[in-house]
Amino acid sequence: MRRKLVAGNWKMNGSLAALAELDGIAAAAAAYPGVDVAVAVPATLIAPAHARAPGLAIGAEDIHPAPSGAHTGCLSAAMVAEAGATFTIVGHSERRIEQRESGQDVWAKAEAGHRGGLGVILCLGETDVERASGRAERVVSSQLERALPGDATGDWLTIAYEPRWAIGTGLTPTPGDVQAIHGAVRAKMVDLLGDAGHAIRILYGGSVTGENAARMFALPDVDGALVGGASLTAAKFVPIIAAAAGL
């Protein structure tokens, strides 16, 4: 049985004052012990977030694939772990687009996170054009094949399906469309990893709210959510955690 995971991604938002929101989020995590709760924050907030909510899984939004070196402005897995991070996001569509990260880049970051002792949330997702042309499943499966470490297990890897056209837009695919992609991702992981592919959680992300979360979580291959804007406040994030706990 795969435990539900609700993970927040603050992106380039937040401040020391905003960390007060973690109080309510941490309280919800304690109130719903059957759900894993995590929050990825900007690098400047990892240490103070960990100090404020030591019982909550705090993560990084990205890492560099190298352990050290001449990479100005970048952070290694060891650096974010030392600050208090227990996981990292890799391959988010905003980085694939804005920083032009390739599948090879994402694979290298996932490997680096694992080597550094971090959990890894690896993101996948198609564009609106790719979906309209009927290529969504093929595109997402190809992204997975290029970025999936060969030794991946559910102990450290989580997949997040985030259709690029749904991120921050208020638009969401139908439950049937979500299950079709998640089912394709599950089948591809089993094909590549064998039985280990059954144990890796697949999250849905893209305009997740307290109103639509339960509908998504009821799908057989949706093991939780990666939440953007709604994770910035406890008032919006906690209902999503509660929806996961109610299933």
Catalytic sites, residue numbers: 92, 162
C-alpha span between 93 and 99 (Å, rounded): 10
Cβ density class 35-60: b for 16+ within 10 Å, e for less: bbbbbbbebebbbbbbebbeebbbbb
Tokens (6 digits) for 200: 């890796």
Q: How far is CA 162 from the centre of its chain?
A: 9
Task: Find, among 5, 13, 47, the residue nearest to 160 by Cα.
Answer: 5
Tokens (6 digits) for 9: 């991604």
C-alpha span between 186 and 134 (Å, rounded): 19
C-alpha span between 105 and 101 (Å, rounded): 6
One-letter amino acid at 122 equals L
